[in-house]
Structure 1
């Protein structure tokens, strides 16, 4: 099992190492930029290393690495904490609009897009001169369309929902421009299992990162006692089953002119062959029966619902699945934190959580993500890990409680 060292401790990572066939290269080695959430860079780097990437370098919300076409296919299919897999095809400096247009038009777009295809452009900018990302997208589109029209008399169309090619344009503060192909298409958090949700759903990539940081590998019981729409449980179930998160969706590279259908079929089969039955109980609970129904609908789409137990009880009435080994069990949950869902008395809710941890979940490691400092203080138990993260625009803390038998209630000094 891989481990990573963060400021808050050393964490085990449940990744199976893939060793690429060095004798058979599927394409030229390219440099990839894989985006992620802030705080997950080291986890993503470990995932990429396990998939066979080389020259892995974590940055801020991105990890750079190298690999061939087979690696790129595997990364899209298997990454749990990646958001997009990008490969840079051009970089230059542009101090004005004409220079930007000329440089973009000078790139040969025919290897990436057919004249009757559809394209979409995501632009982001930190430049003081190129301030309008929407305008940059339009300028980029004009450069591509004008090139095709000059060569063929025809032009590709623009479509976000039906794009054959998705491009990323990034402009730095120094007007350095990076042009990348987005091999993922839609963000990798769109696993394909979540359609409707309850209130304040957690992002799939964030949920996967939380479960991964907990050290969960499927070998101990798992529970989310306030599961909401079931995203944390879904990600945990896929980890326990060794199921690739991208098995139920398509990717942008499948519509590229150089798409290798045979290679892709073998990589998908490789992932299917690794799926197993989770060896320990997985429990999803929510006090709201309608919300729990939505969770069941999502979990059914993962194909793993038969391996998950469901309850609809107040947390303080829920019984913990008995740990089958001395390793105990793992609880991960995302309770309300007032700014998302109105709960009435946030301190009372979190005090109940702490009391229930102490009395009903001995032997477990309990992980809680919250944006409520007041609520966190009210838990009344000492944390053994505290990790700062972001849940969308909300600053949160991801904290761990080691619930030893006979542990004493202790008012911790939380931030």
Structure 2
């Protein structure tokens, strides 16, 4: 055990960093001082001259705390700690009438409380002074002459240090308002180092470096980027030196460092730094922060929506630069404007790709979200932002930047590319022959009936267990929606994958589809609210026609496209019955039946569903056909079962409808039912509740997709019921006639 501070010409220095910032901190320190630097889990260690130590304190942007080790040794108990601390000659560090404060981290079996550790250290220091001089220094946590820090490991290895920095060095003094989820300054500096900002600046001295933060918040990244080039303001450099009453300070070394700040980077006068944010309050804060940091003359902040203004004109002609941002997540997820929920990063990165070709980029995302990022990235760096696990991903905008989409389109492309290898396991001929035969027949039928969307294959062959639907949009492009029915567990997964590869290849080849015009999704039994959840964000949305009605379909993002093709003739029937009449559409999904009816003259439609997602979709369908949602055409978010039960038990006569379309799922969670809705068990309740709302001469269209469904004989006695299951089955679904049940139900004439 030795008193390290007084026995060596160099000082043993510990520099603490934020989690996962050790490597950039070590690189930064090597750029500041010529010393051997060792990475540690908590930061770095080095032996530094006093001048080097002050250089790190004054000029490091990534360092959190800088400590000078006073002594190390074994101190697992209170007595051992006391004896270790007394080995230091405290008169070399602190005046007898001075002030000091102590912090501690870690614990041992005997030293479990950091407060007690600090107290025992204080006792050792005070007792030494009292025995030698009769006076003692005083604890003062507000304005101490020296700050001490003790760290203990579980085994009792103890390090007592003096803090050379004035508290945490992330406090630059320029940020008084950080906005929502502000980025810590040292983390921002480390991120910029990871993003190779210093190297970029060094390589662009002639034309000047460019940096763009499209969602800059309070401007921390831009300000830290500028400070990396200009250095910290002199008054802040002075304030960063801590333990000002320490008797061991080397004043000449301090003076040399303070009198010789780092040289300005070349090309600072040619910098182009721009930050924008949709929140004007954030922009106002960013401008004020930059002014306090003394770098406001180097940057421009403006209020702008990243999606509407992705490419500031100032960057035109700049072939190299860096796009960097702490992207919205958590509290910052509401990016404002027209963007609700998860932002559409694909649309934005596509624009950046065109604007910033040849630039580098670096973004902060929640941990693990990089796998959904639409651009290829070369590295991912784990980081920690105020206890939130985040990742920094880094890449470049170039011809290979766009990642293959992770959703249904990307899956289709990967499967098609693997088809050649799949032929070693699977004979493609049976599927190809059946697909060609079906398509020849159904293409003629579709042309005759005016279908733009139809099913061309539906698990015709047991080994090729999938459905294939074709969607032709109003622009004339055709897409294949391939829905794989999950293979039984007894089927070898490799074989099932090979079969699916063959399916995709043969669909693309035999149906003459353009590249990237097929999607693959896996069909399975849905549970809970799964049907409402997004499965990707590829946003392949198209407008298709059904008769004269225009409808939105989404071929990628959800479990269904927004249009049930097997209900085509059912929608025809609903629209026909509803002309000039009132329609109630229960479990309306995207309200395609309501839109069809309204477009063909229904006087009023009421559409009810539990999902906001689908009701928003429904409103888009109405708007697409120049139909206004409001009094005449209402969209209601409600649990249909609860809504029906309330009206069944109402003391007043509820509104009655001329036509009711009820197409429930095979299951649904509801307080009105036991556990979940069971169509076979509970359809009597549904039918009777609907008939309670049906006018005397009205019609209920009741359908469901439960295979083997049997209508209750009690209902057959109570109402006039006509089975339309076969009559409403379109020709493209004739190969699976038992897929759903459709009934037309009316009151008896004497009702």
What TM-score do you get using the length of structure 1 for normalisation? 0.84
Correspondence for 2:239 among 244, 249, 252: 249
State the shift of 1:392 in Å: 2.6
In the alignment, structure 1 segments of 5+ residues that lack a partner are: 1-26
Structure with larger RCO (C-alpha < 8 A, sep 6+): 1
Counterpart of 1:175 in structure 2 is 156
Counterpart of 1:369 in structure 2 is 364
In the alignment, structure 2 segments of 5+ residues that lack a partner are: 1-7, 408-751
More displaced, 213-222 or 328-337? Answer: 213-222
Query: 1:293/1:115 Cα in 2 relative to 1: closer, same or farther (>3 Å)?
Result: farther
Query: Partners of 2:264 and 2:367 in 1: how far apart?
Result: 39
Q: Output one character per residue of 1:284-305: Cα deviation in whole Å (capped at 9) or x when no partner.
A: 2121111111122221121111
Structure 1 position 302 matched with structure 2 position 302: no
Query: 1:229/1:115 Cα in 2 relative to 1: closer, same or farther (>3 Å)?
Result: farther
Query: Partners of 1:223 and 1:318 in 2: how far apart?
Result: 10
State the shift of 1:378 in Å: 4.8
Counterpart of 1:336 in structure 2 is 328
Structure 1 position 268 matched with structure 2 position 270: no
Correspondence 1:326-405 to 2 at 5 A: 326=319, 328-338=320-330, 345-371=340-366, 373-374=368-369, 376-404=370-398
More displaced, 87-96 or 153-162? Answer: 153-162
Query: 1:176/1:373 Cα in 2 relative to 1: closer, same or farther (>3 Å)?
Result: closer
State the shift of 1:311 in Å: 1.0
8 A Cα contact 1:382 1:412, kept in partner: no
Q: Secondary structure at the match of 1:146?
A: helix
State the shift of 1:312 in Å: 0.8
8 A Cα contact 1:81 1:208, kept in partner: yes
Counterpart of 1:314 in structure 2 is 305
Query: 1:94/1:59 Cα in 2 relative to 1: closer, same or farther (>3 Å)?
Result: same
Correspondence for 2:273 among 279, 282, 289: 282
Counterpart of 1:199 in structure 2 is 180
Query: Partners of 1:58 and 1:76 in 2: how far apart?
Result: 18
Q: Secondary structure at the match of 2:26?
A: helix
More displaced, 160-169 or 377-386? Answer: 377-386
Could you say which structure has the larger radius of gyration? Answer: 2
Counterpart of 1:228 in structure 2 is 217
Query: 1:131/1:216 Cα in 2 relative to 1: closer, same or farther (>3 Å)?
Result: same
Query: Partners of 1:142 and 1:350 in 2: how far apart?
Result: 59
Query: Partners of 1:258 and 1:179 in 2: how far apart?
Result: 16
Query: 1:95/1:225 Cα in 2 relative to 1: closer, same or farther (>3 Å)?
Result: same
Q: Secondary structure at the match of 1:66?
A: strand
Query: Partners of 1:350 and 1:255 in 2: how far apart?
Result: 53
8 A Cα contact 1:337 1:371, kept in partner: yes
Query: 1:64/1:408 Cα in 2 relative to 1: closer, same or farther (>3 Å)?
Result: closer
Query: Partners of 1:362 and 1:138 in 2: how far apart?
Result: 60
Q: Secondary structure at the match of 2:381?
A: strand
Q: Secondary structure at the match of 1:76?
A: helix
State the shift of 1:353 in Å: 4.1
Query: Partners of 2:252 and 2:184 in 1: how far apart?
Result: 32
What TM-score do you get using the length of structure 2 for normalisation? 0.48
Correspondence 1:71-82 to 2 at 5 A: 71-82=52-63
Counterpart of 1:292 in structure 2 is 283
Correspondence for 1:240 among 229, 237, 251: 229
State the shift of 1:123 in Å: 0.4
